[in-house]
Structure 1
Amino acid sequence: MNKRILFSLAAFGFIVSTNAWAHHSFPATYMVSEEIEIEGTLVAFMFRNPHAFVHVNVKDENGEVTRYAVEWGGASALGRQGVTRATFKAGDAVRIWGNPGRNPEDHRLRMQRIERTADGYRWGFKEDEVFD
């Protein structure tokens, strides 16, 4: 009986520590006190847990294209906010505001707000908030 209890406690500890290790700290990955805006063409929307990702091709003033990976909330949480896997598709023109990654060469953002420019669909904005 004692071996079963010990084994159960060890298994529980392993599961808890694995889940805690797998999740990362946003401030360790992103500069949460800064926000930048990007505008471009959505090339992939990965609607999944634990975090969804949006990949966007952004052209600079010289016409050079850079692909950004934008980390979003998990599919479960986004679904409760009305976002589905059909909300965005490749080819959508989007503007995204987010926290930049700590390594600029990674071209990563942590999603704060997104707008699909063709129809004005918006997520993450307060009701009367406008950005130009």
Structure 2
Amino acid sequence: MQTFFSTSGVDQVRAKLSVVAAGIGLLLVATAPLWAHHSFWVEFDVNQPVVLKGTITKVEWINPHAWLHLDVKSPDGAVEAWMIEGGSAAALLTRGFTTRTLLPGMVVSVEGYRSKNRALRANGGDITFADGTTLFFAFSKM
């Protein structure tokens, strides 16, 4: 009896390898966002705590981290544009944040840790508002 599909050992091995390769490819694509996520310990310096008081210029409610942009006046009077990394938008919502909690023009104080590369970036911790209310902005407590 003649068949249209070859059943030789070589063809079977090729078919299995194709399935395995496709599976690995799908796995790599699906997990790529996890690789992009970084560790606090890699990017930020626990020995460089900062307290930044400034005016919010922009808020990015994105995942995996929300970002707060803050204009901070340095000791010499120059305005520095800081970026503060927060937790995920979903985590912040469970802590009491809404899209109206942090608005451009608000003055806040942020405690956190400066980036290791000394850029004007920090991992945010507690944010204190003008009325004294404090909310936790980071991904998790250390």
Instruction: State percent identity of aligned pairs.
Output: 29
Where does residue 132 of structure 2 map in the other structure?
120
Match among 77, 83, 90 for residue 69 of structure 1: 83
Where does residue 113 of structure 2 map in the other structure?
99
Contact 2:55 2:108 in 1 (8 A): yes
Contact 2:95 2:136 in 1 (8 A): no
Where does residue 10 of structure 2 map in the other structure?
none
Where does residue 11 of structure 1 map in the other structure?
26
Where does residue 129 of structure 1 map in the other structure?
none
Q: Secondary structure at the match of 1:39?
A: strand
1:120 offset after TM fit, Å?
2.1
Say yes or no: does 1:27 pair with 2:41: yes
Q: Secondary structure at the match of 1:32?
A: strand
Where does residue 56 of structure 2 map in the other structure?
42
> Counterparts of 2:120 and 2:133 in 1: how far apart (Å)?
24
Runs of at least 5 residues in structure 2 that lack an aligned partner in the other structure: 1-14, 138-142
Contact 1:47 1:84 in 2 (8 A): no
Letter in 1 for 2:30: I
Where does residue 95 of structure 2 map in the other structure?
81
Aligned length: 122
Larger Rg over CA atoms = 2
Detail structure 1 runs of 4+ shifted over 3 Å in the superposition.
Answer: 1-6
Give me the CA root mean square deviation. Answer: 1.9
Letter in 2 for 1:42: I
Where does residue 128 of structure 1 map in the other structure?
none
Say yes or no: does 1:56 pair with 2:70: yes
TM-score (norm 2): 0.77
- For residues 68-94 of structure 1, the C-alpha deviation after alignment (integer angstroms, 9 at most, x for no partner) is 100000101111112121111001010
Letter in 2 for 1:47: W
Runs of at least 5 residues in structure 1 that lack an aligned partner in the other structure: 126-132
> Counterparts of 1:9 and 1:58 in 2: how far apart (Å)?
47
1:4 offset after TM fit, Å?
4.0
1:63 offset after TM fit, Å?
1.6
